[in-house]
Amino acid sequence: MIEPTYTIEESEELVHPGHLACQGCGATIAMRYVLKALGKKTVVVIPACCWSIIVGLFPSSCLDVPLIHTAFETAAAAATGARAALDVQGQEDVNVLAWAGDGGTFDIGFQALSGAAERNENIIYCCYDNEAYMNTGIQRSSATPVGAWTTTTPQGGLEDRPKKDIVRIMAAHNVPYTATANVAFPDDLYQKIKKAASYKGMKFIHILSPCPTGWRIPSSESIEVARLATLSNVFPLYEVINGSKWRVTYIPQKKVPVEKYLEAQARFRLMGEEEKKRIQKNVDEYWKELLKRAKR
């Protein structure tokens, strides 16, 4: 039959055009499908990040849902407060979505996030990961992969430190739902958010969101490159229920070498053949371990 068929339901768009994202911004696509899955009864909390700009200047907002701008390190704390306020009013059916970048999640907002997870706050925390502090001009974060050029690692940080395994950390908080997602797989993203919303307690979704500006790729290739991340197992798609039940949600049919993913992006241009081989090895090992955890 005529493919592809998406399971994303036909519904009102809650993200409006006219927003201030760069051409080809993956984070915008991420928000589009997360809000489609959550619906209009949602409050969004956004700390300092690209999205605090994307959303538009006062008094405009591209979102058709209430939004709270908050300080860089406070997404989870502010979301906790919003949740408490809604609950007090008896509005338990309203979703609270904390929407933060990787800097705001992996680094500066981590303490607040860990605290909220430990308390099992009834919120959905989405980290849209563009793998650097993009809004302030591409500075390295602990989500920046080894070998990637940033303005603070002009040689492409080549020390062999793997990217912080945020989902495993969050799963170790034994929260009801943690998952990875990728804007190149909107159906998988949409279904995971739907699923997340069905749990009470802390939900954490890590969404790979390509940034053409920071990744040094043409805007048209944004989705293509994000897809390669999953097809090459650099960014596997999986979910963890209650911190213990691991499930891989997408198994690539044709294996793509990591090299293809790296070479599609100029931010990896300084990387040598040896590094690429090492990364391939790390990716293979991680994938094997993931499958083991998922008992596949």
Ligand X SMILES: Cc1ncc(C[n+]2csc(CCOP(=O)(O)OP(=O)(O)O)c2C)c(N)n1
Query: Which residues contribute to the site for ligand X (CB under 6 A)?
Result: 48-50, 72, 100-104, 130, 133-136, 141
177 in helix, strand or coil? strand
Select from 19, 30, 23, 17 the least CA-distant residue to 213. Answer: 23
Residue 72 touches which member of Mg ion, other proteins, ligand X, none, C-beta under 5-8 Å by kind? ligand X
- By CB under 8 A, the residues from 194 to 223 that bind other proteins are 212, 218-223
How many CA atoms within 13 Å lie on the side-chain side of 261?
A: 24
Please say which residue, 137 or 218, places its beta carbon nearer to other proteins: 218
Which range, of 12-20, 40-48, 88-96, 107-115, touches other proteins by CB under 8 A?
A: 12-20
Provide the mask over 14-53, with x wherever binding to other proteins is found by CB under 8 A and - wherever it is not: -xxxxxxx-xxxx-xx--x---------------------
The b-or-e profile of 111-125 (16+ CB within 10 A means b, else e) is ebbeebbeeebbbbb
Closest approach of Cβ 141 to ligand X, in Å? 5
* The pairing of beta strand 67-69 with beta strand 177-182: unpaired
Pick one of 26, 101, 147, 236: the residue that binds Mg ion (CB under 5 A). 101
Residue 218 touches which member of Mg ion, ligand X, other proteins, none, C-beta under 5-8 Å by kind? other proteins
Please say which residue, 48 or 271, places its beta carbon nearer to ligand X: 48
Residue 104 touches which member of Mg ion, other proteins, ligand X, none, C-beta under 5-8 Å by kind? ligand X
Instruction: Give bridge partners of residue 204 from the DSSP assignment.
Output: 125, 178
Q: The tokens 């790390």 sit on which residue?
A: 282
Select from 152, 241, 223, 213 the least CA-distant residue to 182. Answer: 223
Residue 28 touches which member of Mg ion, other proteins, ligand X, none, C-beta under 5-8 Å by kind? other proteins
How many CA atoms within 13 Å lie on the side-chain side of 170?
A: 32
Please say which residue, 72 or 286, places its beta carbon nearer to ligand X: 72
- By CB under 5 A, the residues from 145 to 204 that bind Mg ion are none
Determine the Cα–Cα distance for residues 156 and 146; give it in Å rounded to an integer: 7
* The pairing of beta strand 238-241 with beta strand 177-182: antiparallel
Cβ 122 vs Cβ 200: under 8 Å: yes
Q: Does 12 bind other proteins (CB under 8 A)?
A: no
Q: Does 90 bind other proteins (CB under 8 A)?
A: no
Q: Does 7 bind other proteins (CB under 8 A)?
A: no
For other proteins (CB under 8 A), the number of binding residues is 44
- By CB under 5 A, the residues from 102 to 121 that bind Mg ion are 102
Determine the Cα–Cα distance for residues 123 and 178; give it in Å rounded to an integer: 12
Closest approach of Cβ 133 to Mg ion, in Å? 6
247 in helix, strand or coil? strand
188 in helix, strand or coil? helix
Cβ 168 vs Cβ 238: under 8 Å: no
Which residues of this chain interact with other proteins, rule CB under 8 A? Answer: 1-4, 6, 8, 13, 15-21, 23-26, 28-29, 32, 55-56, 58-62, 64, 66-67, 186, 212, 218-224, 227, 231, 253-254
